[in-house]
Structure 1
Amino acid sequence: MNTQSITTLLNSIIIPASNRTLGNEKAVSNVTIDNDGIHLDLTFPYPVAHLIEELQQRIDQAITAEFGDTPLFVQVQLAIGKHKVQPGVQTIAGVKNIIAVASGKGGVGKSTTSANLAVALSRMGARVGVLDADIYGPSQPTMLGVAGQEPRQHAGQMIPVMAAGEIQVMSVGFLVDTDQAVIWRGPMVSQALQQLLFQSQWDDVDYLIIDLPPGTGDIQLTLAQKIPVTGAVIVTTPQDVALIDARKAVNMFQKVNIPIFGVLENMSVHICSQCGHTESIFGQDGGKELAATLGVPLLGQLPLTLTVREAMDNGTACILAQQQPEIANLYEQAAWKLVQALADQGKDYSQRFPKIVVE
């Protein structure tokens, strides 16, 4: 037994809930053999807290089968880097990757998806932020249980409000009276979005989820032209009317060279809270077919349930896993597919090159 043979063995181990191996991901960063056993350092480019227990079991079994019963000590760390964005846009301090959640149509559960993906990513071990870009109808403060709070000011910047002590949240809903209509023209809306992004003091965010409003208007154009977006998630219901608008959102992102990381089909089936009967009231597999057409992952098929709606209205998105572990697990699976797709995106090396100034 030596470090090379252990490394070779480890490289063949499949990462749970994926078709990737530790070798594919170059995850084995160090192997040491000491008197007390084998010490392993594993480094991943995405959050894996939800997989650690099963991964540890697979490593234990492989080591025991090959080398006998040997004490094993595993240390896991994350190295989530910045990935490519559109050329010529200003980066945002404290933010590594921006994921836009879009639908093209209202009422398909995009804000619910944004909130629950953020919670899932945080539970998986990532540092997460949420930007509520729906200037006219901000809902993230309510869903994440921080409505009525205000961001603190520091050095001319706003400090995002913390949801559940872990998720950094910014929304125009913190800054305006929620009972008053926001009557702004397009340029004001675009300026407000940029201020929320660039004038907020984000604290080492691995993934910033931007909850977009419906449509392909001013906010979406600002996002494409001014904001460094790593990629997008498309939310739709199986219904044909929703799919028509979802395709418009897809087309917009394709035109501005923002990759689509996956499609999430919401309200796939309705689950009766009384008897548990399921019914496909909005049709079947529309999102699945859209994902197949685009050649991107189907991140998940989420049911329409009373408990999820209540959790969003009551501001308990952050504790949905305790109330509805089955539903929370579906969001976790979607988030896991999302971060894998993002990790396959090319890295951003722009910060490694010096700026050349001609005088």
Structure 2
Amino acid sequence: MRDAVMQALKTVNDPELHRDLVSLGMIERAEVEGRVAHVKVNLTTPACPLKGKIEGDVRAAVLAVPGIEAVNVTFGAMVRPAAQPALPGVKHVLLVGSGKGGVGKSSVAVNLAASLARDGAQVGLMDADVYGPSVAHMLGQGTAKVTANAERKMQPIEAHGLRFLSMANLSPAGQALVWRGPMLHSAVQQFLKDAAWGELDYLIVDLPPGTGDVQLSLTQTVQVTGAVLVTTPQDVALIDAARALDMFRKASVPVLGVVENMSYFVAPDTGLTYDIFGRGGSRKLGNLPHLGEIPLDTEVRQDADAGLPTVLAHPESPAAQAMRQIARNLAGRISVQAMAHLPEQLPVV
């Protein structure tokens, strides 16, 4: 009867990859005990955005097998690495950028990292905004200091289930860094290659605003899986976001999608929605995938000041729910890209 179950599973497609679960090697186990089938599906990311649909499709397909009366579906996850992994042990390097400051890029980067980690992924966060580092404060680790391990590599600081490095933890508080391009390049190199990141599914890099030296150093130093553009809806932000998009394309970095931050505001007293900055403007950025819209919410600012990502502090809030879905949409996009180079038929365990 197991063979019949496997044949049924060949009719179930991954909704994003458009191939069946068997040929993708996603069926880790398929067993039958009496009239009960036990199926374990290995997802391509712990943050799979369509896990519920896959479970429903598996149940329907297996229940159609004669003699099967119940299906027990469980899940595992294994993030497939990029065709050319960027760093030893790091499967994907993701850049979070914007054309200008003030659009909430760092807040989005921190919450994306925290959300992916909450879903079970191994996540690192690198604060590449050397002149204006804010990640450490947003994670409640502004006074922590980076140490070295036995191999004299920088040891990332751990907070909220992820590992991070920031210049804020290497320089005296409040001290301005007056560095030229070569020094910035050296700092980026050290953060990437002289740090003990360990085994990571995703290393998210919070870029500085603009299209300067740090962006150039990163794209020339490591193989980047892709970039996420963060913008607000108004035209003045979109103009600069378009420049950032052009930079990524010239550097041959795939843009995985755009996030529209501060997209709208829901009045807490009336529940009415106000498009303060003109909602939906980010859809003007070419044919980029739209990862999602985040509402303007005072809790996001309060949580950042308190050093706790909103997706952890207020997981049921509209802003947190939006960022959780954006993180899952992003993970899905990465899976599609990573699986594109695999053969048509993978071995079944």
The residue number in structure 2 matching 1:160 is 156
Q: Superposed, which structure 2 residues align to 1:231-246 within 5 Å?
A: 231-246=226-241
The residue number in structure 1 matching 2:325 is 333
Aligned-pair distance for 1:210? 0.3
1:56-89 per-residue CA deviation (whole Å, 9 max, x = no partner) reads 455345434544664544443222122146xxxx
**Within 2, Cα distance between the matches of 1:265 and 1:25?**
33
Q: Superposed, which structure 2 residues align to 1:75-94 within 5 Å?
A: 75-84=74-83, 91-94=86-89
**Within 1, Cα distance between the matches of 2:19 and 2:240?**
37
The residue number in structure 2 matching 1:250 is 245
1:14-34 per-residue CA deviation (whole Å, 9 max, x = no partner) reads 668x68565374422432223
- What is the identity, as a one-letter code, of the residue corresponding to 2:209? P
Q: Do residues 199 (structure 1) and 194 (structure 2) align?
A: yes
Q: Alpha carbons of 1:321 and 1:296: their partners in 2 closer, same or farther (altered >3 Å)?
A: farther
Structure 1 contact 133–212 (Cα < 8 Å) conserved: yes
**Within 2, Cα distance between the matches of 1:142 and 1:27?**
39
- What is the identity, as a one-letter code, of the residue corresponding to 1:130? L
Aligned-pair distance for 1:134? 0.4
Q: Do residues 345 (structure 1) and 341 (structure 2) align?
A: no
- What is the identity, as a one-letter code, of the residue corresponding to 2:258? V
Structure 2 contact 47–327 (Cα < 8 Å) conserved: no
Q: Superposed, which structure 2 residues align to 1:91-130 within 5 Å?
A: 91-130=86-125
- What is the identity, as a one-letter code, of the residue corresponding to 2:120? G
The residue number in structure 2 matching 1:304 is 296
**Within 1, Cα distance between the matches of 2:34 and 2:316?**
45
**Within 2, Cα distance between the matches of 1:98 and 1:210?**
7
Aligned-pair distance for 1:252? 0.7
Q: Superposed, which structure 2 residues align to 1:281-320 within 5 Å?
A: 281-290=276-285, 293=286, 295-317=287-309, 320=312
**Within 2, Cα distance between the matches of 1:309 and 1:135?**
21
Moved more, 328-337 or 247-256: 328-337
Cα RMSD of the aligned pairs, angstroms, is: 2.6
The residue number in structure 2 matching 1:355 is none
Aligned-pair distance for 1:261? 0.3
**Within 2, Cα distance between the matches of 1:113 and 1:296?**
18
Identity of matched residues, %: 37
- What is the identity, as a one-letter code, of the residue corresponding to 1:141? A
The residue number in structure 1 matching 2:58 is 59
Q: Alpha carbons of 1:168 and 1:205: their partners in 2 closer, same or farther (altered >3 Å)?
A: same
| SS of aligned partner of 2:91 | strand
The residue number in structure 1 matching 2:7 is 8
> When the two structures are superposed, what TM-score results if normalisation uses the length of structure 2?
0.88
**Within 1, Cα distance between the matches of 2:74 and 2:147?**
36
| SS of aligned partner of 1:96 | coil
Higher RCO (CA-CA < 8 Å; seq separation 6+)? 2
- What is the identity, as a one-letter code, of the residue corresponding to 2:109? S
Q: Alpha carbons of 1:28 and 1:137: their partners in 2 closer, same or farther (altered >3 Å)?
A: same
**Structure 1 stretches lacking a partner, 5+ long:** 350-359
Aligned-pair distance for 1:107? 0.4
Q: Alpha carbons of 1:199 and 1:337: their partners in 2 closer, same or farther (altered >3 Å)?
A: same
Aligned-pair distance for 1:186? 1.6
**Within 2, Cα distance between the matches of 1:321 and 1:188?**
36
**Within 2, Cα distance between the matches of 1:270 and 1:75?**
38
The residue number in structure 2 matching 1:39 is 38
> When the two structures are superposed, what TM-score results if normalisation uses the length of structure 1?
0.85
**Within 1, Cα distance between the matches of 2:255 and 2:295?**
22
Structure 2 contact 260–294 (Cα < 8 Å) conserved: yes
